[in-house]
Amino acid sequence: MSRFKQGWELTKKSWAVLRENRDLFRFPIYGAAATIPVAIITLGPGFYLLEENATAGAIAVIAVGLFMLAFIGIYFSVGLAAAADKIFRGEQATVSDGLAVARANLGPIAGWALFSTIVGTLFNLLESQGTIGQIVGRILDIGWALITFLAVPVIAIEGTGPLETLKRSATLFKSRWGQQLTGNLAIGGAVVLFGMLPAVALIAGGIALWSSTGFGGALLVIVGVVILLIAMLIQKAMTGVFGVALYHYAAEGNALGGFTAAELDSAVKHKGGGAGPAPTPA
C-alpha cells in the first residue's frame, strides 16, 4: 500500500469517527476560542516589551504566554481524547464527559505543558544556531513529535505526570513501531491537500490583488483565512481521534474505531519500509 493511500484511508476513518460524533469537533473549537484572547493578552505585551528592549520582562511575559497556550491546547486535547476513548469502548460521550477528565488531570496537564514548552524552546534556540543547529534541531524536533504523539491519550487514560508520560509514550511507540523511524505519521494529508493549500493560495492571491482590486482582494484573504482555520480545526480533531486509536493498538493490540491492525501498523514510516515489531497484547 502506497504512503498516499495509507494516509487517505487513515484520514477517511478518522473523519468517519468525527462525522458520527460531531461533538468531538467542539474541543478544538473551544481550544481555539480560548487561545486567541490569551495570545493577545500575553504575547502582545511580551513582543511590545521586546521591541522596547525590556528583554528580561519580555522573556518572562512571553514564557508565561507560551505555557498558558500550551496548557489550553493540551487541556482540550485531553478532553477530546477522553471522549474518543469512551466512544471507542462503545459508550456514549459528551463534551462534558471529556472536560471532566481534563479537569481531573489539571496537574498532569500543567506538568506536560511546562515540560513540552521548555523542550520546544530549547529546540528553537538550537535551530537558531546556524545551519548545523537547524539540521540537528529539526531532527530532534521530528523525533520528539514521534515519541510524544501518544502523550495526550496517555494523560487522558492513565493520568500520568510529565516524566511518566514521556516514558510511557516513547515506550509504547518503540514497542509497536520499533526504533528505525523516518518521517511523520500518515494522517491528515488530505486536509493539507484539499484544505490548507487552497486556503494559502487564496490568501496569497488576495494579498497580491489587494492593491488593485481592494474589496476583492480583501474578500479572498478573508475566505482563505476562514478555510485555513476550519482545516486546522479538522486536522486537530482527526489527529486526536487517531492518537487514541494508536494508543489502544500500541498498549493492548486492539484495533478500534474502524481502523485495521494493518493500517495502524503502517501508520509510521520505517527505514526500508518494514513494519515495526508487534508486542504481545497486554
- What is the model's pLDDT at position 178? 61
- At 3, the pLDDT band (50, 70, 90 cuts) reads low
Is 90 domain-assigned? Answer: yes
Range of the domain at 152: 3-271
Is 277 domain-assigned? Answer: no
Is 9 domain-assigned? Answer: yes
Is 40 domain-assigned? Answer: yes
Is 280 domain-assigned? Answer: no
Closest to 36 in 3D by CA, of 229, 181, 276: 229
Position 282 pLDDT exceeds 70: no
Cβ proximity of 266 and 275 under 8 Å? yes
- What is the model's pLDDT at position 104? 97
Looking at the structure of the chain, the number of domains it has is 1
In this predicted model, what pLDDT tens digit does every residue of 155-184 receive, in sequence order?
A: 999 999 999 999 999 999 888 776 544 334
Record the cell numbers describing residue 187, joined without a space: 494522517
In this predicted model, what pLDDT tens digit does every residue of 96-137 receive, in sequence order?
A: 999 999 999 999 999 999 999 999 989 888 888 888 888 988
Is 258 domain-assigned? Answer: yes
In this predicted model, what pLDDT tens digit does every residue of 181-236 receive, in sequence order?
A: 433 455 666 677 777 888 888 888 888 887 777 677 888 888 888 888 888 888 88
Residue predicted with more confidence, 84 or 129: 84
Is 103 domain-assigned? Answer: yes
The amino acid present at 177, given as its one-letter code, is W
pTM: 0.82
The CA-based diameter of the chain, rounded to the nearest angstrom, is 64
- What is the model's pLDDT at position 205? 87
Cβ proximity of 222 and 194 under 8 Å? no
Burial 31-49 (b: 16+ CB within 10 A, else e): bbebbeeebeebbeebeeb
Is 250 domain-assigned? Answer: yes
- What is the model's pLDDT at position 279? 38
